[in-house]
Chain A
Amino acid sequence: MQMNGLRVSDRLVRLEQVFTDQWDPRLVPLYRKLAADRINISFLYLNYLVPAKQISCLVEPETLTRLTRDSVPGGVEPVKPDASAAAGLVSAFPHRFDPAAIGTMLRAVAQTEIEWHCMASSGSMLAIATDYATQKQAVDAVAGGIGLPENHVPVFPGQDYDPIARSLKTAPETVARYVESKIKTYGIQVYTGLTLCSLRLRADALEKWSRAVSEKGCRFFYACAAPMENERVNLEVLLDAGEPETRDFDIAADTPCADTSPDNSATVREKAEMICFHGPHFGDRYGIADKALGRIAQAGVPVWLAGCVGATVSIVLPPHAAKKATKALSAAFEMPD
C-alpha cells in the first residue's frame, strides 16, 4: 500500500458529545454549539448509526476561549468541554478510493500503545484523531504501515511554511472581508446506489476484509471508524459494490464474525447515498458543518454519518435522501455546474 504523504496537525483539543439516552429534541449538537461560539472545527466525526450516537470534533485550543454559556437560545447545550484533551490528527493521502488503505491504516494504529479516537475520510485523505501524547507513535506506525516515498517528510501545516507565509497565515498585514450570499463550493458530488458496511471486528480481521473487497474491484467513497472494547474497531465504509442482485461475491463473507467472538458483527445496508463537497478555506472557517447538517435536518432528512476532513464535508444518507438533501443545501451553498 503505497501513498504519497502524511500531514500532521498537533496542538488540537478533542471535544466529544455522546447521546446515550433517548433523543431530546432540545439537545444542541456539538457542531452547532461551536458554530454559535465562532469556533472552527478542524476535524469532525459524526456517527448516528451506533447505539450511543457520537460527535467528535478537533478544534484549536486558542479558540476555546470563545466558548460561552447559553449561546444557542432554548437549547440544552453540551457540557463544557475538557480543554485538557490534547489531541492530534494524522492524515495519509491519497487513498485512491482503495478499501485496502483503510484496513492498512487501522491495523497500524490499533495497537495498545496508541490512543486513537476516531477516523474519517475525505476525497483523498484518511485522517485519524489521536491523543497528543501518542501522536508520534501513530505517525511512525502509519508511515511504517502504508509505505511512503523515500525522501518523504511528514508535513505540519502552518509550521512548515516560509517565514512570510507563516506570518501571513497567523497575522495578516491586511484583513480582507467579503460577504457571500451563499457559501462557495467547488461543486457538490452526489453518489447513489452504494453499499454501506458496518463492521465490528479486530483490526487484523478488518485489514483482511478490506484487502478482499479491494481485490474484488470495489472502491470506497467514505469511511469512518472508532475503537471499541476488546481491541475491536467499529468501521463504517461506503462501497460501490454494484447491485446486490448481480453481485458475484458475498460482501461480508471474509468477516470472521461469530466464529471468533459473539461481539463481532457485519451489517450491510444497500442503496445508501452520499453528498460530498469541498470549498475554499473550509478547513479554516467556522459554521460550515452546522450550516450543512442544519439545512439537511430542517428538510427532515435523517443523517447516518458525517465527516469533515481538510476542506471536505461528507454526509452519508439513507436511500432516496440525497436529492432532497441536495436541494436543502442549495439554499446555503453555491453549487457550480
Chain B
Amino acid sequence: MSEKKLVMVVDDDPDLVEAVSMKLESKDFRVAKAYDGQEAMEKIQAEKPALVILDVMMPRKNGWVVCDEIKKDEGLKDISVVMLTAVGDAVPSTSYTHHDGKTTLADDYVPKPIDMGKLMEIVDDHLGS
C-alpha cells in the first residue's frame, strides 16, 4: 500500500486553510499547514511535501518569494507549487502582478475565490492520484 502524499496548505486565513485541509484529508492526502510565508518555508524545508498550495499576499514573506525560493533550491525544486492568485485575478495590471507573476515558476494557478472542485482536480493532476 502506497504512503499517503503530503500536501502543504499555506494561507494567512486560518479558516480557509482548515476548509482546504478537510477537503484534502477526505481525499486521503496527509496535510501540513502554515499561515505565513516564513513559517511555510521552514516547514517545506523540514517536511518536503509533494505539493504546496500557496497564497500570494501573506505576512512576513509573500507567496511569490516562497515559490521562487522553492524553485531555486536544488533540494526542493521538484515540489509542485499551486498558487492561489486573488491578486492576479482582481488586479490584473499592477507592477506587483506583472513583475512577480512573470518571474515566478509556479506549476499551476487557481484564482480566488477558490473553486474547491477545480483545486482538487489540479492537485490530482500534479500528484497523479
In whole angstroms, what is the CA distance A159 to B57 when docked? Answer: 12
Number of chain B residues whose Cβ lies closer than 8 Å to a Cβ of chain A: 36
Residues of B contacting A187 in the complex (Cβ-Cβ under 8 angstroms): 19, 116
Judged by a CB distance under 8 angstroms, whether B3 is at the interface is no
**Which residue from B15, B35, B42, B62 sits with its C-beta under 8 Å from A155?**
B35
Residues of B contacting A151 in the complex (Cβ-Cβ under 8 angstroms): 42
* Shortest distance between the CB of B112 and any CB in chain A (Å): 6
* Shortest distance between the CB of A9 and any CB in chain B (Å): 12
Judged by a CB distance under 8 angstroms, whether A310 is at the interface is yes
Let me know if A186 and B16 touch, CB within 8 A.
yes
A172 (CB) vs chain B CBs: closest residue: B91
In whole angstroms, what is the CA distance A283 to B96 when docked? Answer: 23
Residues of B contacting A124 in the complex (Cβ-Cβ under 8 angstroms): 14-15, 17-18
Given A123-B18, A160-B59, A278-B16, verify A174-B94 contact (CB < 8 Å).
Answer: yes
In whole angstroms, what is the CA distance A176 to B91 when docked? Answer: 6
Judged by a CB distance under 8 angstroms, whether B113 is at the interface is yes
In whole angstroms, what is the CA distance A132 to B15 when docked? Answer: 25
In whole angstroms, what is the CA distance A311 to B58 when docked? Answer: 16
A283 (CB) vs chain B CBs: closest residue: B13
Judged by a CB distance under 8 angstroms, whether A79 is at the interface is no
Residues of B contacting A162 in the complex (Cβ-Cβ under 8 angstroms): 61-62, 65
Judged by a CB distance under 8 angstroms, whether A94 is at the interface is yes
Let me know if A310 and B91 touch, CB within 8 A.
no
**Which residue from B90, B96, B115, B116 sits with its C-beta under 8 Å from A164?**
B96
Residues of B contacting A176 in the complex (Cβ-Cβ under 8 angstroms): 90-92
Judged by a CB distance under 8 angstroms, whether B114 is at the interface is yes
Judged by a CB distance under 8 angstroms, whether B50 is at the interface is no
Contact residues of B between 19 and 69, Cβ < 8 Å to A: 19, 33, 35-36, 39, 42, 56-62, 65
* Shortest distance between the CB of A279 and any CB in chain B (Å): 7
Residues of B contacting A169 in the complex (Cβ-Cβ under 8 angstroms): 57
Residues of A contacting B92 in the complex (Cβ-Cβ under 8 angstroms): 174, 176
Residues of A contacting B90 in the complex (Cβ-Cβ under 8 angstroms): 176
Let me know if A174 and B14 touch, CB within 8 A.
no
Please indicate which of the listed interface residues B57, B92, B93, B117 has the most CB atoms of chain A within 10 Å of its own CB.
B57
Let me know if B33 and A4 touch, CB within 8 A.
yes
In whole angstroms, what is the CA distance A173 to B87 when docked? Answer: 11
In whole angstroms, what is the CA distance A337 to B13 when docked? Answer: 22
Let me know if A168 and B96 touch, CB within 8 A.
yes
In whole angstroms, what is the CA distance A169 to B87 when docked? Answer: 10
* Shortest distance between the CB of A238 and any CB in chain B (Å): 17
**Which residue from A125, A160, A186 sits with its C-beta under 8 Å from B60?**
A160
* Shortest distance between the CB of B85 and any CB in chain A (Å): 13
* Shortest distance between the CB of B100 and any CB in chain A (Å): 8
Residues of B contacting A186 in the complex (Cβ-Cβ under 8 angstroms): 16, 19, 113-114, 116
B17 (CB) vs chain A CBs: closest residue: A124
Residues of B contacting A159 in the complex (Cβ-Cβ under 8 angstroms): 59
Residues of A contacting B39 in the complex (Cβ-Cβ under 8 angstroms): 5
Residues of A contacting B91 in the complex (Cβ-Cβ under 8 angstroms): 168, 172-174, 176
Let me know if B19 and A279 touch, CB within 8 A.
no
* Shortest distance between the CB of B99 and any CB in chain A (Å): 9
Contact flags A296-314 to B (C-beta < 8 A → 1, else 0): 0000000000000111100
For this complex, 27 residue pairs linking A to B, each with C-beta atoms less than 8 Å apart, are A4-B33, A5-B14, A122-B14, A123-B19, A124-B14, A124-B15, A125-B14, A155-B36, A155-B60, A157-B12, A157-B59, A161-B59, A161-B62, A164-B62, A165-B56, A165-B62, A168-B87, A172-B94, A173-B94, A176-B92, A184-B113, A186-B114, A278-B19, A280-B114, A283-B13, A310-B13, A311-B15
Top 5 closest pairs, chain A to chain B, by CB: A160-B59, A280-B113, A93-B14, A124-B18, A124-B14
